[in-house]
Amino acid sequence: MQTGTAALIRLARLIIWDEASMANRQGIEAVHRTMQDIMGSTLPFGGKLMLMGGDFRQVLSVVKRATRAQIVNASFRMSPLWSSTEKLCLSINMRALSDQWFSEFLLRVGDRTEETTNSNFIKIPDAMAVPFTTNDNSIRDLINIIFPSLDSNAHSPDYISSRAILTTRNDSVDKVNDYMIDIFNGDERVYYSFDETEDDHHHLYPIEFLNSLNVGGLPPHKLCLKIGCPVILLQNLNPFDGLCNGTRLVCKGFQPNAIDAEIAVGVHAGKRVLLPRIPLSLSEEDMFPFKLIRRQFPIRLSFSRTINKAQGQTIPHVGIYLPEPVFCHGQLYVALSRGTSMENTKVLVHPSKKITATGVFTNNVVYREILLDQ
């Protein structure tokens, strides 16, 4: 109540919360009650004008090992606060697409009004589909489309930061990234992590076992990099200087305990920074019977990334790799809408045995109860 942050909130006339649609309702309700206390008012958010930016067609809050009902219940749309605000909270989609037909197609996918086959499967437009032959050949074809003339453009930050391949799960991300770093020009630098467990006095978990763990949110034990390759930051290191979780960078130099990198996008684009090797640990929600501490650079390769990690970003040239169908609300919509036009958005889908019709089909998961009054 007496902090400088509270004083700043009292002075604010407008508070903007971007991507509020994917925030857990408990977090938004906690902010609501905190601001009521600060302002001494029982009005929603203490009477402050809140602009909640977002799109409920996109992926919702990530609730680990949750059912559909639990995921829906965690959405702000299901909160009593939503109805009590009399729509002072606005659900808006600020994305501007250059292709009108593409924009209309995306809305039909997001609203689940696109024509379906076998209940949930929709047809990917032929202009966007990459034909599937064999797994390795098809991935190679997708990479060649999204990263044309890679050898001659490998060291251009604009080229690298404007292209990405999105996929559903971390193992598919790692597969694409491993292939990309192998064909990327330059000498490879490998950094190995130092792993240990907290309070493991009896040495129950061998170092080799800890090294083999590859968990989302943590860097890999073996981090392979080359000059000019893109990486994504996994931790908030210095938000004031643009080093936030999700920041994309390009490697410029390597030292034993630091990586020289350049921020690739955003207001800090072009700024050179040094990334340190730091201790990182798994969250308690990962439910391991021990606490893993991994000392490594807090980055991963970002030629490819998960669809969820790409939410909120615009990628001029985007490839979508779906070795298995999407598995949660809004994933397909988010993946398709990262691009700006049909011409620059390509989709590779492993064929489903459920579909015998001609064309490329994939599952579209939409929780209609989230969109009922839109």
pLDDT digits (tens, 9 = 90+) for 223-236: 999 999 999 999 99
pLDDT for 350: 92
CA–CA dist 237, 178 (Å, integer): 26
| Cα end-to-end distance, the chain, whole Å | 37
CA–CA dist 162, 230 (Å, integer): 10
Query: For residue 92, is pLDDT > 70?
Result: no
Amino acid (1-letter code) at residue 305? R
Provide mean pLDDT across the span 150-173.
90
Model confidence at 87, in pLDDT bands (50, 70, 90)? low
Considering only CA atoms, which of 30, 79, 38, 32 is closest in space to residue 56? 79
CA–CA dist 292, 220 (Å, integer): 13
Model confidence at 167, in pLDDT bands (50, 70, 90)? very high
Q: pTM (2 decimals)?
A: 0.87
Model confidence at 98, in pLDDT bands (50, 70, 90)? low
Burial class (CB in 10 A: 0-12, 13-18, 19+), 274: exposed
Question: Which single residue is written with the structure tokens 């985007």?
Answer: 318
Query: For residue 287, is pLDDT > 80?
Result: no
pLDDT for 95: 56
The CA-CA-CA angle for residues 306, 21, 114, to 5°, reads 70
Query: For residue 359, is pLDDT > 80?
Result: yes
Amino acid (1-letter code) at residue 242? G
3-state secondary structure 229-251: CEEEECCCCEHHHCECCCCEEEE
Model confidence at 273, in pLDDT bands (50, 70, 90)? very high
Model confidence at 103, in pLDDT bands (50, 70, 90)? confident
Provide mean pLDDT across the span 90-112.
74
Provide mean pLDDT across the span 123-141.
92
Give the β-pairing of 278-281 and 116-117: unpaired
Question: Average pLDDT over the chain, rounded to whole?
Answer: 88
Q: Is 51 left (phi over 0), alpha (psi -120 to 50) or beta?
A: beta
How far are the Cα atoms of 31, 52, 92, 313, 372 from residue 17, in angstroms, in the given order? 11, 5, 11, 16, 23
How far are the Cα atoms of 143, 230, 326, 353, 359 from residue 130, in angstroms, in the given order? 11, 24, 17, 18, 11
Considering only CA atoms, which of 85, 8, 11, 75 is closest in space to residue 44? 85
pLDDT for 96: 53
CA–CA dist 206, 195 (Å, integer): 10
Considering only CA atoms, which of 25, 21, 65, 57 is closest in space to residue 368? 57
Radius of gyration over every alpha carbon of the chain, rounded to an integer in angstroms: 22
Tell me the percentage of the chain whose pLDDT exceeds 90. 56
**Is 98-168+307-374 a domain of CATH 3.30.460?**
no
All structural domains of the chain with their residue ranges = 4-84, 98-168+307-374, 173-302
pLDDT 10s digits, 297-349: 999 999 999 998 888 888 999 999 999 999 999 999 999 999 888 899 999 99
Amino acid (1-letter code) at residue 291? K
Model confidence at 40, in pLDDT bands (50, 70, 90)? very high
pLDDT for 41: 93
Query: For residue 93, is pLDDT > 60?
Result: no
* Residues β-bridged to residue 195: 294
pLDDT for 80: 84
- Note whether 323 and 170 are within 8 A (CB): no
pLDDT 10s digits, 14-38: 999 988 888 999 999 999 999 999 9
Q: How many residues in the chain?
A: 374
Tell me the percentage of the chain whose pLDDT exceeds 70. 94
pLDDT 10s digits, 189-202: 999 999 998 887 78
pLDDT 10s digits, 51-68: 888 888 999 888 888 899
pLDDT for 36: 95
Query: For residue 265, is pLDDT > 90?
Result: no
Helix (H) or strand (E) segment spanning residue 157: helix 157-161
Beta strands in the chain (DSSP E): 14-17, 49-52, 116-117, 121-124, 129-130, 163-167, 189-192, 194-197, 222-225, 230-233, 248-255, 258-263, 272-276, 278-281, 292-296, 299-301, 304-306, 317-322, 345-349, 360-363
